Amino acid sequence: MEFANLVNERVSVRKYKKDPVEKEKVDALLKVLATAPSSANRQEWKYVVVSDEEILKKLTVAAESRPPISEAPLVFCIISTENKNVNDGGLNKGTIDGAIASTYLHLAACDIGLGSCWVGSFNQKLAAEAISLPEGYCIISLFAIGYPDETPNQRPRKDISDLVVYNHF
């Protein structure tokens, strides 16, 4: 899809059909994730692709037992394998890199006709237990993915003129 159309069409989808997401589509998402940039090209990521029903149930509990995780046939866990380093600006590199991967995934899913939703509200400990996360790794986001069973309206955005200043405040 044309980039301008993609960013205009992308919305968070929280209801999905029961149909499983085909392996080819999962592979297509992973192919996009493999292109994501990271701080100093660290690539300190792991992606846990969850379609197992028992593990999905545990992730649902970790994510407040509600949509979108409770609805999704597929969840990608975006993981930072090194989430302690901060950059010169004092910002956490692993969290930033994880957010970039998450954004790539969100757009890639939309591009191939899948609905998805970024989930940041989850219990890190419970989600970690669900996927047997190794010590020291950190889940940056859970991504609910599936064929859309709703067509949400675009949510309003601030006018860009409210967000931008030129050269200085």
Ligand X SMILES: Cc1cc2nc3c(=O)[nH]c(=O)nc-3n(C[C@H](O)[C@H](O)[C@H](O)COP(=O)(O)O)c2cc1C
Q: Which residues bind ligand X (CB under 6 A)?
A: 11-12, 14, 68, 117-121, 152, 155
Strands 138-146, 115-119: pairing kind: antiparallel
- What minimum distance in Å lies between the beta carbon of 24 and ligand X? 25
Residue closer to ligand X by CB (options 69, 131) is: 69
Residue closer to ligand X by CB (options 23, 124) is: 124
- What minimum distance in Å lies between the beta carbon of 11 and ligand X? 4
- What minimum distance in Å lies between the beta carbon of 120 and ligand X? 3
- What minimum distance in Å lies between the beta carbon of 25 and ligand X? 20
- What minimum distance in Å lies between the beta carbon of 41 and ligand X? 23
DSSP the chain: --HHHHHHH--B---B-SPPPPHHHHHHHHHHHTT---GGG---EEEEEE--HHHHHHHHHHTTT-TTGGG-SEEEEEEES----B-TTS-BHHHHHHHHHHHHHHHHHHHTT-EEEEE--S-HHHHHHHTTPPTT-EEEEEEEEE-BS--PPPPP---HHHH--SS--
Residue closer to ligand X by CB (options 157, 168) is: 157
Residue closer to ligand X by CB (options 9, 27) is: 9
- 160 CB neighbour count, 10 Å cutoff: 7
Residue closer to ligand X by CB (options 21, 119) is: 119
